[in-house]
Amino acid sequence: MAPEVVKGRAALIGGGVALAGAVAYIGLADPHKPGFLFPACPFKALTGLDCPACGGLRMTHDLLHGDLAAAAVDNLFLVVGLPLLAVWLLVRWRRGRPLMPVAATVTVVTAAVAWTVVRNWPGFPLVPTLLPG
């Protein structure tokens, strides 16, 4: 086997192991509680606003524990959008089409910006929250 193939497979396996470890940590630890060891959102730290992905760790934790309602409160955009995007990409890949044409990229970016504006609107009910320690 060519060295490039071996390096590529090793990188793929290493990435998969790192991803599995991160997901296991998110499932075992509770990102809803203060002191969760994960970097804070730089967008929120700079602006004080929730970014399109804010609440994503809490959403992942809730999904791993089977709590879809809590996951939707943490980040409805990702709960709905990620599966839709994954299915769309899979269909495009199976048909041999380019995965992210310009129109699709513009659509995803526009949706993320719109979600950022809506979720930071005063009184918007779906706000990711931390539970008391």
Residue 62 included in any domain:
yes
Answer whether residue 8 is part of any domain.
no
Determine, yes or no, domain membership for 132: no
Nearest CA to 73 out of 85, 87, 56 is that of: 56
Is residue 128's pLDDT more than 80? no
Q: What's the total number of domains in the chain?
A: 1
Q: Residue 115 pLDDT > 90, yes or no? A: yes
11 in a domain, yes or no?
no
Domain assignment present for 16 = no
Query: Is residue 58 domain-resident?
Result: yes
Q: What single-letter DSSP state applies at residue 54?
A: T
Q: pTM of the predicted model, to two decimals?
A: 0.81
What is the domain extent for residue 108? Answer: 31-119
pLDDT tens digits for range 23-66: 999 899 888 888 888 888 899 899 999 899 988 989 999 999 99
Round to whole Å and give the CA distance between 38 and 87: 29
